């Protein structure tokens, strides 16, 4: 039996309880968690913005140590440090076949599996495949990637979602070029990773936008050269800060219709807007046909940073080891599993950056 945070039903608070994990069968790996990041996607799963079979153990950003492996698992062994990959590519669907592994049609097939049971026998699903809000988890072999050397597991946990997403939004989706101006909407965990990635890409003016004035120093530490408090005049302010033209690139990390629209309006004629934030079906964004023609802007979605974890994790680790990527700087709260409700409250109200759950063994 291990302790875990269980979502009993959509819209219900998480319950900290004991669960019983099975031993890893063929192609499975048991991992003892060192750390797990609390991501806004977990909040979206809990409130029904994203659908998930329930009851479920949430958590999809984590790192830990392999406890045991099932038959056929050869790329990791007991004692190895690993990063969890919540969206493993199947390698056989259409998107995998054309190299778009982040759009794999079968990446989340495991979320419907029976992952564990509570002490009273209730069957539990793994929220986004990996069920990282627990002291230990059992996952498919494709959900573990050997942890990069020289990166503490506590910090390596962030590579599994926030950093891959922010990095990919800059380098794969928006394809920021050296000297371009970038506006980043939202300075939570993903937004801070996006700001750092824009700095690494060589962006000139980097504007951070957030509703909370307390985020300004966090954003500047991550690489923002300017900070704008979100308001009705945000787009106008960004144009002022970019020579009257607007930003070359805007990256939206919030998932709200008004923010997406503002991000689009904040870019120059011919600019590029990438939407990372996950919004609900009720968030409708509208454009008229004439402005689409006139402005010549590009609006694109971005799934998991359009990243390939096997390809991108070593690159990110290299930046971290060289001091260009500050993983610890993304974390504003280090908490225990029992404090996860407060982390969810902070996300609802826009406070802080990434909350990181630290488990007792480190």
Cα 236 from Cα 238, distance rounded (Å): 5
Closest CA to 47 of 275, 206, 282, 270: 282
Which of 216-220, 221-225, 306-310, 347-351 comes out lowest in average pLDDT? Answer: 347-351
**Parallel, antiparallel, or unpaired: how do β-strands 123-126 and 15-20 relate?**
unpaired
Q: From the CB of residue 213, how many other CB atoms can be counted at a distance below 10 Å?
A: 9
Average confidence (pLDDT) over 249-265: 97
What confidence score (pLDDT) does residue 307 get?
96
Give me the pLDDT at residue 362, please.
Answer: 41
Q: Which helix (H) or strand (E) holds 32?
A: strand 28-38
Tokens 């990390």 sit at which residue?
A: 253
Phi, psi of 106, rounded to the nearest 5 degrees: -115, 10
Give dist(CA 335, CA 18) in Å, integer: 19
pLDDT of residue 357: 97
What's the predicted TM-score (pTM) here? 0.95
Nearest CA among 134, 85, 124, 125 for reference residue 107: 85
Tell me the torsion sign for CA atoms 20, 24, 26, 28: positive
pLDDT at 360: 77
User: What is each CA distance from 350 to 184, 310, 354, in whole angstroms?
Assistant: 15, 31, 11
Per residue in 148-177, pLDDT tens? 999 999 999 999 999 999 999 999 999 999
Confidence of residue 52 (pLDDT cuts 50, 70, 90): confident
**12: Cβ contacts below 8 Å, ≥ 6 apart:** 46
Check whether 37 has a pLDDT greater than 70.
Answer: yes
pLDDT, mean over the chain: 96
Q: What would the pLDDT profile of 284-297 be if each residue is shown by its tens digit?
A: 999 999 999 999 99
Pairing state between β 15-20 and 2-7: antiparallel
pLDDT per residue over 88-136, tens digit each? 999 999 999 999 999 999 999 999 999 999 999 999 999 999 999 999 9
């Amino acid at each position: 039996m291990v302790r875990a945070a269980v979502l009993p039903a959509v819209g219900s608070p998480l319950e900290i309880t004991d669960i019983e994990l099975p031993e890893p069968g063929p192609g499975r790996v048991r991992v003892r968690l060192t750390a797990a990041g609390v991501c806004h996607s977990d909040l979206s799963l809990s409130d029904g913005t994203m659908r998930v079979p329930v009851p479920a153990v949430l958590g999809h950003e984590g790192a830990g140590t392999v406890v045991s492996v099932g038959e056929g698992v050869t790329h990791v062994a007991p004692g190895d440090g690993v990063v969890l990959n919540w969206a493993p590519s199947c390698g056989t669907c259409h998107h995998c076949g054309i190299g778009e592994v982040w759009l794999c049609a079968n990446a989340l097939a495991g979320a419907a599996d029976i992952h564990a049971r509570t002490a009273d026998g209730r069957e539990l699903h793994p929220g986004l495949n990996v069920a990282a809000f627990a002291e230990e988890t059992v996952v498919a072999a494709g959900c573990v990637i050997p942890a990069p050397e020289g990166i503490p597991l506590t910090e390596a946990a962030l590579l599994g979602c926030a950093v891959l997403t922010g990095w990919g939004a800059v380098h794969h989706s928006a394809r920021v070029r050296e000297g371009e101006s970038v506006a980043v909407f939202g300075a939570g965990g993903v937004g801070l990773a996006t700001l750092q990635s824009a700095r690494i890409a060589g962006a000139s003016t980097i504007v951070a936008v957030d509703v909370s004035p307390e985020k300004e120093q966090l954003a500047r530490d991550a690489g923002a050269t300017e900070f704008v408090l979100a308001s009705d005049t945000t787009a106008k302010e960004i144009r002022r800060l970019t020579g009257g033209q607007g930003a070359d690139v805007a990256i939206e990390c919030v998932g709200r219709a008004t923010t997406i629209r503002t991000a689009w309006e904040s870019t120059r004629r011919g600019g590029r807007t990438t939407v990372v934030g996950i919004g609900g079906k009720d968030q409708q964004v509208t454009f008229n046909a004439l402005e689409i023609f006139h402005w010549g802007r590009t609006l694109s979605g971005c799934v998991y940073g359009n990243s390939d974890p096997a390809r991108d994790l070593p690159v990110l680790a290299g930046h971290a080891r060289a001091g260009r990527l500050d993983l610890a700087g993304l974390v504003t709260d280090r908490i225990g599993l029992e404090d996860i409700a407060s982390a969810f409250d902070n996300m609802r109200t826009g406070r802080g950056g990434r909350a990181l759950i630290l488990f007792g063994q480190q």
